Structures are given as C-alpha cells and as structure tokens.
Amino acid sequence: MIEKRIEQVKAKLILEQPYFGTIASALKCELNENIQSFKTTPGKFEYNDDFIETLSDEQISFTLTNCAMHYALDYKQRKENRIDWLWTLAQDYAINSLLVNNGMNAPKYLNHDIRFDKVSAEEIYNTLQDEIDDKQEEHESVEHIQYEQETIDKENDEASKDNNAQLLNKAKKYGDLPLDIEVLIPELFDSQIDWKNELYEVIEQSMKFDYTLSPPNKRYISQGIALPSLGGTKAKIVIAIDSSGSIDEVLLATFLSEVQGIMNQFDNFEIDLIHADVKVHEHIILQAGDLLEQKIKGGGGTNFENTFNYIEENIYDITLLLYFTDGNGKFPQDEFSFETIWVLSDEKVKVPFGKEIFIKPSV
C-alpha cells in the first residue's frame, strides 16, 4: 500500500535526518489520480500512485523533503515581484542542491545543476532571468511543482515560521544542521539564538528521560508514524509569574503565552504555577492538556525571597524553576537547592544566582 510505504519512509527519514524528517513528516499525503507525478500545497503532498511506484524509498524521501522545504524556507513570502514559475524553478535548484549535498538520493527528473551548488534561490533566479527570453513560456521542468494561489493566513504563517525557527535552532545547538543550509538561510547564522528556543532547550536539558515505544510519541502517531517517546519520571516544573504592579498587560500576556507554549511543547510534566508579587497569591497544578487560566492575581510590590521560601516549604522534587519577571524586586541572596532560570524582560537586571534568559515582549 502506497500510503503505508510513504509513512514508513517518513519515519526512517526522521531517524536518519532529524530536521528534514520532522518537516517532511508534517505533510499530509493524499492520492490524486488527476496529476502525473506530485504537487504540493501548504501542509499537503498530493501524488499519483503510479509515479510513486517508480521511485525507491530514498527517492520518495527526497521528493517529500523537497516539497516541505519550499514552505519551510518561507519562499512564498520572499517572492516579492519575481515571476512565479521562474522563482519556483530557482527554489527547486537551491533545495535540490542542498539535499544532494546532504547525501539524499535524487530522482532522475529533478532540477539540479552543479553550477548552482551552494547558491541561494535569489542568486539562482537572477542567473536564470538573464538567460531566458522574456517571451518564453513556462518551463516544462517545473510542471510537477504546483502551488495554489491563496490568501496568506498570517497567523498560521507566523506560527509555521516560529516552528521552523525552533527546529533550526535546535539542530544548530546539537550539531544536526543540514550541510550548507546557511546558504539558504543566512539570517540563522547572522543572529543570536532565539530566546524561545533557548528557553525550550533549557527545559529539555533539565529533564532526565528514557526513550520508549510504549506509548509512542504523540506528535507523530496521528500521521501513522511510531517513534520513541520520552518516558520515565514525570518532570516537576515550577513556573512563577511576577504579577506585581510593574508588569504591564503586554508583558503579562507574553509571560502567559510562553507558559502555554511550554505546556504545548512538552508531554511528560507537572507544572506548579505560581502568581506572586510581594507574596504568593495563587498556586495551581497543571498537567499536559490543561488550559491556562488567564486571570492573574497581584498588583503590589515584588519580593522574590518570599516566593522562593514558599516554593521550598510547599513543593517537593523540583526539576526546574522558571521565574518570569521584569526583575524589579527584592532578590534572595542565598542560592536554593533547585535549578533556577530567570526569564527577564530587562537585560540590565543582574540576578544573584541561576541562569538568565531575556524575553522580548509581544507587541
């Protein structure tokens, strides 16, 4: 069965090439007998089964990754005033060179030219544009890459960009970046690691888990892929939110958004959520799948020392404390036994202990 074969290919790709496999696995595969080979639209890979039968498993991996990369690299937003079909062709040359250089097995028909090795899509477009006659019709070699004209969903588009940025930064941190990808995404190497990814990496590193296939990873099981999930002792995370009067609505909304993001990102945890200013006003236990209550109690001054004392007296077996704050308040002078991460909005703040991560409030 073709569908089962594609899902098996996805699972193998995730293990062998984690970045490529993760973005390719997100594609929903759908049979379409009205096309000759395949086409892609946001989040979907449509294929002709006779065409897929002609490909090896490695070539299917290549084809899926090619489709996923057109969106992962944000090419739709980068098109500007370029000619549609020529921009698509330039993308294809750039992506295929990347995949070939990373050891992937390309189908025979692909758009690949050694002179475009390690060259960006923008540069390739300029070269191709110089070579064509202005009256030339659409190039046959891009007929298999069809894109629907659509209204861009800005919210989903931004979420997709954030997800890909997290994948890239995670791969960068662990040395799993695809070879030469900096040519296609130079901004990844021109800027510092995104604070959201840094925060998630800190949480992951503080969790000590074993890999198990019972139950499988829930993020891929809906796609028919059974991969190892994180099992073992449930992580005990304490999150303290500064609810003092110096925290405005924008910063508070950013804090809450990131707490919800943490809950969505990780499965095996228990969160003790605390609202505190000069004292602790609320202590809530959250599990995976819970919805975050948006009502926060507080509005007074800030005394971090009281919060730390409360945590030490009332919460046990803590894996990690995340303290979301602007840093304006009375700090404890002595370090506590649990690991502490200060998620700060003000880079000028100096904390007496623990690690600092500087957050950028949402506008």
pLDDT value, residue 214: 45
Kindly state whether residues 11 and 97 are assigned to the same domain.
yes
Segments forming the whole domain that contains residue 68 = 2-140+153-190
- Please give the residue that has the higher pLDDT: either 108 or 192: 108
3 state SS of 260: helix
Per the structure, how many domains does the chain have? 2
In this prediction, residue 362 has a pLDDT band, given cuts at 50, 70 and 90, of low
Residue 178 lies in a domain: yes
Domain annotation covers residue 217? no
Q: Do 181 and 304 lie in a common domain?
A: no
Residue 197 has pLDDT above 70, yes or no: no
- 203: in domain: no
- Residue 148 has a pLDDT of 35
Examine the domain organization and report whether 256 and 177 are in the same domain. Answer: no
Write the pLDDT tens digit of every residue in 49-77: 899 999 999 999 999 998 888 877 777 77
47 and 106: one domain?
Answer: yes
Q: What is the DSSP letter of 303?
A: B
Domain presence at residue 129:
yes
Query: Which pLDDT band holds residue 200 (cuts at 50, 70, 90)?
Result: low
Higher-pLDDT residue of 146, 296 = 296
Lowest mean pLDDT among 30-39, 173-182, 229-238: 229-238
- Whether 115 is in a domain gets the answer yes
Instruction: Give me the residues paired with residue 240 across strands.
Output: 274, 323
pLDDT score of 135: 45
pLDDT winner (highest mean) among 76-80, 107-111, 133-137: 107-111
Please write the tens of the pLDDT for every residue from 258-281: 887 777 766 677 889 999 999 999
Q: Are residues 124 and 185 in the same domain?
A: yes
Whole-number Å distance between alpha carbons of 63 and 57: 10
Tell me the pLDDT tens digit for each residue of 106-119: 888 788 888 998 88
**Model confidence at 227: pLDDT above 80:** no
Mean pLDDT estimate for the chain: 77
Are 241 and 181 contained in the same domain?
Answer: no
pLDDT digits (tens, 9 = 90+) for 304-343: 999 999 999 999 888 889 999 999 999 998 888 888 989 9
* End position of a domain, from candidates 162, 190, 218: 190
Q: Is residue 304 within 8 Å of 330, Cβ to Cβ? A: yes
Once rounded to an integer, what is the mean pLDDT over residues 119-123?
88
pLDDT at 161 exceeding the cut of 70: no
Kindly state whether residues 121 and 244 are assigned to the same domain.
no
Check residue 95 and give its pLDDT.
Answer: 92
Q: Are residues 185 and 242 in the same domain?
A: no
The pLDDT assigned to 180 comes to 73
Say if residue 247 is in the same domain as residue 170. no
pLDDT (tens digit per residue) in 202-215: 676 665 544 444 45
Residue 72 belongs to a domain: yes
Q: Indicate whether 23 and 135 sit together in one domain.
A: yes
Residue in the block written with tokens 């609505």: 249
Inside any domain, residue 39: yes
Least confident of 97-101, 233-237, 239-243, 244-248: 233-237
At 247, which CATH number?
3.40.50.410
Token representation of residue 15? 């293990």
Assess whether 39 and 166 both reside in one domain.
Answer: yes
Residue type, 277: D
The predicted structure's pLDDT at residue 196:
61
The reply to whether 44 falls in a domain is: yes
CA–CA dist 283, 272 (Å, integer):
7
Residue 296 and residue 299: Cα distance in Å, rounded?
9
Residue type, 352: P
Q: Give the closest residue to 360 by CA, choosing from 187, 172, 199, 167.
A: 199
Residues 123 and 270 in one domain: no
